[in-house]
């Protein structure tokens, strides 16, 4: 699905969606940009599971992004409620999908599982693309001292390795590459 098709499906005012694009271009963003949204949209299934709620959550899950904050998902969910008010998109579903990207915990709900998988697809890209992603994340967290960043980032990545990364059958085949990429970055962070 293209960004243009997705926005047409949502049917919101250009003023709202133009603001989304402006927010996704903010200077503190290096990975959490429009390019990330486009990658998620490109990998959405062409099926009934691709609901307007999933499309809206994809656009809005990182719409508020401050690397120094701990409540980006909650703020993004609040903006979603405001931006989608008056539409026939189920706001509470969108909020749930956005909040679910905070921890990417396993879900029995197929839409939540799909949202999580789409958000984590970068983990299973080619080693070169993954290395670019890792460097972009480091730039977003440039305010964190190197030693603290290495320890914190390695801890986050190790958590992904404790359970299956991908929850849907659609993306299960990407699991091995994701695990290889995560192991590579953890080794880099630990100076190996």
Domain definitions of the chain by residue range: 1-119, 124-192
> 31-62: per-residue pLDDT in tens?
999 999 999 999 999 875 569 999 999 999 99
Q: What percent of the chain has pLDDT over 90?
A: 93
Q: Which pTM does this prediction carry?
A: 0.95
> 63-96: per-residue pLDDT in tens?
999 999 999 999 999 999 999 999 999 999 999 9
Q: Residue 60: its pLDDT value, please?
A: 98
Q: φ and ψ at 108, to 5 degrees?
A: -80, -15
The CA dihedral of 70, 74, 80, 86, to the nearest 10 degrees, is -150
Q: Residue 46: its pLDDT value, please?
A: 82
Q: Residue 48: its pLDDT value, please?
A: 53
Q: Residue 50: its pLDDT value, please?
A: 66
> 115-159: per-residue pLDDT in tens?
999 999 999 999 999 999 999 999 999 999 999 999 999 999 999
Contacts of 168 (CB under 8 A, 6+ apart): 110, 113, 114, 117
């Amino acid at each position: 699905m293209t960004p243009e098709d997705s926005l047409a499906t949502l049917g919101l005012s250009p003023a709202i969606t133009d603001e989304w694009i402006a927010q996704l271009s903010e200077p503190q963003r290096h990975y959490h940009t429009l390019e990330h949204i486009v990658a998620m949209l490109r990998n959405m299934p062409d099926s009934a599971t691709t609901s307007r709620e999933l499309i809206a959550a994809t656009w809005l899950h990182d719409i508020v992004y401050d690397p120094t904050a701990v409540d980006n998902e909650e703020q993004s969910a609040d903006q979603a409620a405001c931006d989608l008010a008056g539409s026939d998109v189920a706001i509470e579903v969108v909020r749930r999908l956005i909040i679910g990207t905070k921890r990417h915990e396993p879900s029995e709900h197929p839409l939540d599982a799909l949202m999580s998988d789409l958000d984590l697809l970068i983990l299973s890209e080619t080693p070169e693309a993954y290395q670019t992603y890792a460097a972009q994340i480091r730039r977003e967290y440039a305010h964190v001292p190197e030693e603290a960043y290495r320890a914190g980032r390695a801890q986050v990545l190790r958590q992904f390795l404790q359970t299956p990364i991908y929850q849907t059958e659609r993306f299960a085949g990407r699991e091995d590459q994701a695990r290889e990429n995560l192991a590579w970055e953890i080794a880099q962070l630990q100076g190996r």
